[in-house]
Structure 1
């Protein structure tokens, strides 16, 4: 009985499409770097727009 409960629980958890904490942390770091790059590019575009307006 206990084995069946564990098996059913494991199957239910696997269907939830969960990720590990390590995978979450890695994706969080990737997102942070992407955000930093985006902010830098936005700054560059703003500076280029200033030079073309002048």
Structure 2
């Protein structure tokens, strides 16, 4: 669920993961660590977790 939400937000509203995290008041490393637990990593070339 988190993965889907984050990728949708990145695709539709944000130019980068940093912009998303700043706007939402999230710690980027914490978010990346959480999604890494299910083997997803942020790819800035496509602005998505893949």
TM over 0.5: no
Which of structures 1 and 2 has the larger relative contact order (alpha carbons within 8 angstroms, sep 6+)?
2
With structure 2 as the length reference, what TM-score do the two structures score? 0.27
The structure richer in strand per residue is 2
Which structure: larger Rg? 1
